[in-house]
Structure 1
Amino acid sequence: MKHQVNPSIKITEVKEHPFQYSICTLVTNHTEYYEMKASCLKAGFGEDDCEYLIIDNTTGNSIDAYKGLNLFLQKAQGKYIIICHQDIIMHDDKRAILEERIKEIDAKDPMWGVLGNAGRVNMKYFARNLKQGTEGIDFAEKDAPIRVMSIDENFMLVKNEANLTLSADIKGFHMYGADLCLIAQILGYHTYVINFNLLHKSDGNLNNTFIEAKNDFIAKYSKALRPRFMASTAARFYLGSNPWKKALFNTNLVLFFIRQYDKFFKGKRNRLN
């Protein structure tokens, strides 16, 4: 008896998305969320081509931001994934403005992965385009779109085809914007602050929980991005940013001694760390 062979499925780079936008929110207050959603609908993000996804944390923070955002990134079917706080209000700028900004970035840098309305350009400069906090202070970034190293979590637009994710070994509700942007950079994508203005009602809260999250973030990436000796099945090499160490540690002599060290002091069953 012959077994029926299923035909192979041909795939291409072009991916179809049933929605243009997925608007994703961790919800702790339904009233505030529905106010936010109403403003999005009024701004042109209709439910005919946009999906609204929530994680309900109203009975307690059962799912933290890292796990929750990873669920959004896995489940969202939109071409663009908007991950936002429940306390934002779209007011002046509508959907048409956002689509102009996306078109502008597509032409400027096709390798963009994340867009936001606020972020750090470097250790000195902050780029912001929003109305912030209880006092409603307006910030306008004259150099937008501007490439940044991280963005604020109040509004993050992710290109679905970039297949981004967040760390699985960090927990909590802080630093996940920086984590997303750093992972995007490692994967070859760039982050920008664009000129898309909305109201973010919160002033932020840099409490002890934030300090703990920052320390966890530093610990994770100090280890993850440390210089190291690495081997594939076909090659052995050293990875690091120092050009002198790269030149020295990638010589056959040094790599020979590293192999001897692993043989006599670490052994085959030693755990990777």
Structure 2
Amino acid sequence: MGRLAKEQEIAERLGVRYLTGPATHSILFSFVTLVASQERYDRMLTSALAKGFTPENSEFLALDNRNANRFDGFDAMRRALVEARGRYIVFTHDDIEFTHDGAAELEARLDELRALDPDWTLAGNAGGIGYRRGKHHLAVHIDDPHKLGLRVTQPELVESLDENFFVMRRNRPVVNSYDLEGFHFYAGDLCRMSEIMGGRSYVIPFLLSHHSGGTVDEAFPLCRSRFERKYRRYFVGRNLQMTVAEFRFGLAGMCEGWGETPKSRWDFLKRNVYAPERSGVDDT
């Protein structure tokens, strides 16, 4: 047996798969939802089916927090990526409802975005354009309790997205930070990771209803502090606009970096970023 034939036989025995192009997808949308309330989630599912999100074009993955918080926003996104089969991965809260646009509109808006920017990474219905001269600049296309009535007519480039609804391209995946946790700023974290990887985020004119105006609970200040302490070292002097907060990093990150050693860097992470009370969900 010749060498080439022998190598081919070994490859066949081991079941080698030769990848020759982009990843394929069996469906269009993978919906990933942090589910705390079955009643709210049932309302979302009912509205999704009514608006054309069917088993033929969509799958629905529920991160089960109904009886306990098994997942937070950061680890939920990482967990879902290994399961999703859709061309687009759609992350949602369980309290959204498809009252306006549906499957046809979402596919059309994403096709339009790809024509505008082939390198887009994330898209959503609300986000921060920037924080400049003490003013908040937002792009919003949503019905929610705030009743602001804000709308976009075309994709708007943003530096952050809201967590209630956002879309990721399966062939341009982004993962959340391993050193952050909680239920706030995980979409903003994805936008930062996307930016570092060379991607861009947009708000698109896709309209749905979000039945919450956002929750600023007792965990919010801690999540904000950890997010700030991490990113001020990488975005020195930058202002960053979220839908629920703004960050003015100033020169603090630069000052912290002066005279840094490997040990001081590790001490900084342990003290300011890593959460000592982490629950440590076992994903092995």
TM category, shorter: 0.7 to 0.9
CA drift at 1:207: 2.8
State the partner residue of 1:219.
229
Instruction: Tell me the TM-score normalised to structure 2 length.
Output: 0.76
Residue 98 of structure 1 aligns with an amino acid whose one-letter code is: L
CA distance in 1 between partners of 2:70 and 2:17 (Å): 39
Alignment match of 2:219 (pick from 209, 234, 253): 209
Q: Deviations over 1:75-130 (max 9, x none)?
A: 21110000000000111112111111111111110010000000001113111101
Q: Deviations over 1:217-256 (max 9, x none)?
A: 01122345579xxxxxxxxxxxxxxxxxxxxxxxxxxxxx
SS in 1 for 2:179: coil
Instruction: Tell me the TM-score normalised to structure 1 length.
Output: 0.79
The residue correspondences of 1:123-202 to structure 2 (distance < 5 A) are 123=131, 124-133=136-145, 136-142=147-153, 144-202=154-212
Residue 191 of structure 1 aligns with an amino acid whose one-letter code is: S
State the partner residue of 1:245.
none
Alignment match of 1:5 (pick from 2, 10, 17): 10
Residue 141 of structure 1 aligns with an amino acid whose one-letter code is: V
Residue 122 of structure 2 aligns with an amino acid whose one-letter code is: V
Residue identity (%): 31
CA distance in 2 between partners of 1:270 and 1:192 (Å): 38
CA drift at 1:137: 4.9
Structure label with greater radius of gyration: 1
SS in 2 for 1:208: coil
State the partner residue of 2:128.
120
Change (3 A) 1:80 1:28: same
SS in 2 for 1:131: coil
Alignment match of 2:25 (pick from 5, 13, 17): 17
Residue 83 of structure 2 aligns with an amino acid whose one-letter code is: K
State the partner residue of 1:251.
none
CA distance in 2 between partners of 1:22 and 1:147 (Å): 24
> Does the 8 Å CA contact 2:152/2:205 hold for their aligned counterparts?
yes
> Does the 8 Å CA contact 2:22/2:171 hold for their aligned counterparts?
no
CA drift at 1:271: 8.7
Change (3 A) 1:118 1:5: same
Residue 222 of structure 1 aligns with an amino acid whose one-letter code is: R
> Does the 8 Å CA contact 1:132/1:139 hold for their aligned counterparts?
no
State the partner residue of 1:72.
80
State the partner residue of 1:110.
118
> Does the 8 Å CA contact 1:82/1:155 hold for their aligned counterparts?
yes
Change (3 A) 1:225 1:138: closer
CA distance in 2 between partners of 1:226 and 1:126 (Å): 22
CA drift at 1:159: 0.5
CA drift at 1:188: 0.7
State the partner residue of 1:238.
none
* Count of matched residue positions in the alignment of Structure 1 and Structure 2: 234
- Structure 1: segments with no counterpart, 5+ residues: 228-260
Residue 81 of structure 1 aligns with an amino acid whose one-letter code is: I
